[in-house]
Homo-oligomer: A and B are copies of this chain.
Amino acid sequence: MLGAPFDWGTSFRPGARFGPRAIRDADYLEPDGKRPHLATGIDPLTELPVVDAGDAPVFRGYIERSLDSIERYAGAVAVRGGVPVTLGGDHSITFATATAAAKVYGFGNVALVHFDAHADTGVYSDPSMMGHGAPMRRLIESGAIPGHRFVQIGLRGYWPDPATVQWMREQGMRSYFMSELVERGLRTVIDEAIEAVLAGDGKSRAKVVFLSVDIDVVDPGLAPGTGTPEPGGMTSRQLLDSVREICASLPICGIDVVEVAPHYDQPSNVTAMLANRAVLECLTGIAQHRRAGGAPLPQTEGLE
């Protein structure tokens, strides 16, 4: 577990730089190194060797230099066979965290499951899109993660434009809009996503899966502490169940939870609490996966 207190990529309300700390603090239990998951009886903190590696250094006001630093930091965990869990920060950090995974497991070998209200595939030649609106496009264009290895869940609202949506389809991205979740039901969609993400376009299977959770996938009424809230999202319960299910079913190689902006989360800090539990549910899922005999992560290829 590491923090990426970086929000210089935000287009609207900043503050996610305080996210890592808020998520770490959003806990009312004793710091006893135990967090037994009530429904499954699994305690991820005792089953898995979880370590908090502190925050990656970031450079205020300098996007690229900061992303390089975060990538190196996450990569150092991954190359040792660890599963870096990065606490954002704004969503621009996923270009760093997922690239780190791709450098370790090979460009093209990593799939990405992406919970978000926004596709984050903006055209970054547009200055207003530099930063947290474009990381998914950058990952595709760099080749780190091909479009057909993307599964997005929870998209809604009035962005991006149809031309970009068309581009996304051409890249082979699978995007589940909220309207599809409502029509078909969450469980159906999650089950289908789990099936689809490793298969990609059917030509070759992904080796590992990166999970990126933008907390704004949840409805702003339930998760107000974020920078670009979009009404009409998932419930907290749905997010928690989904991420545990995904981690229990797939070979997860890295996770990030982003866009928690504590200053919009006052006075009750419910969004930071939700992000904290989302991490715990992911860890529980990983522990379930290992108990169930999930193959260990493949040998890393070393950092290029």
Contacts and interface: CB of A to CB of B under 8 A. Distances in A.
Interface of A: 7-15, 17-18, 28-30, 34-39, 41, 43, 59-63, 127-128, 130-131, 155-162, 165, 177-179, 182, 218-233, 235-237, 240-241, 263-268, 270, 273-274, 277, 280
A230 B281 CA distance: 13
B38 A273 contact: no
Most buried by B among A63, A128, A236, A237: A237
Nearest to A11: B60
Nearest to A119: B38
A62 B64 CA distance: 10
Nearest to A225: B268
A268 to B, nearest CB: 4
Contacts of A59: 127, 130
Q: Which 3 A-B pairs have the closest CB atoms?
A: A221-B222, A224-B268, A12-B28
A52 to B, nearest CB: 17
A287 to B, nearest CB: 13
B36 A130 contact: no
A38 B270 contact: no
Q: How many copies does the complex hold?
A: 6
A159 B62 CA distance: 24
Given A36-B159, A38-B159, A162-B36, A268 B270 contact: no
Contact of A127 (B60, B158, B177, B265): B60
27 contacts: A9-B61, A11-B28, A11-B60, A13-B15, A13-B263, A14-B14, A36-B159, A38-B155, A38-B157, A43-B161, A60-B130, A60-B131, A61-B61, A61-B63, A61-B130, A157-B277, A178-B237, A219-B237, A220-B268, A221-B274, A224-B270, A230-B277, A231-B240, A231-B270, A233-B237, A263-B267, A264-B268
Contacts of A223: 221
A39 B43 CA distance: 40
Contacts of A222: 219, 221-222
Given A14-B14, A38-B157, A60-B128, 15 more contacts: A7-B14, A11-B28, A13-B15, A28-B228, A34-B161, A38-B160, A38-B165, A41-B162, A220-B236, A220-B268, A231-B270, A231-B277, A232-B274, A263-B264, A265-B268
